[in-house]
Amino acid sequence: MATTYLSPQQLKDFAQRVEEVAKKFPGEVVRIRHSFSRDWDGDPAIYFKILFSDEALMRHPLTALTNGVRNALIEDLALYGSEYSFYIPYFNFRTVGEQERLKDPQWQ
């Protein structure tokens, strides 16, 4: 169950801005999913699931790729300086190949 203090319009705007970040990484980011929930300590959280193309890891070091996407999300969404600062962001990364093997429905 999603836990959020944001209005439906804020949620829609947030989703659109997440999509805009994904478009900054054509060929690398296949998609970015997000959900609002609570973390293991009960604090409000945003969970990001970033799916990379398999080729992205052949062209870029993993650390550079994950840091680039993470930083773009933090900066473009103003995660620490807006109405979203109430939420702790968590970032999870996976490749298309990994997802095909794991078939995790939460990553679809």
Q: What is the band of 82 on the pLDDT scale with cuts at 50, 70, 90? A: confident
- Tell me which of 25 and 84 has the higher pLDDT: 25
Please give the CATH number for the structural domain made up of 8-92. 3.30.300
Pairing of strands 29-38, 44-52: antiparallel
Given a cut of 50, whether residue 1 has pLDDT beyond it is no
pTM, full prediction: 0.92
Q: How far is Cα of residue 54 from the mean position of the Cα atoms in its chain?
A: 17
Q: What is the band of 3 on the pLDDT scale with cuts at 50, 70, 90? A: low
> For the chain, what percent of residues have pLDDT higher than 70?
97
For residue 55, what are its two tokens?
């080729």
Given a cut of 60, whether residue 100 has pLDDT beyond it is yes
End-to-end CA gap in the chain: 17
Phi and psi at 32, nearest 5°, equal -125, 120
Given a cut of 50, whether residue 23 has pLDDT beyond it is yes
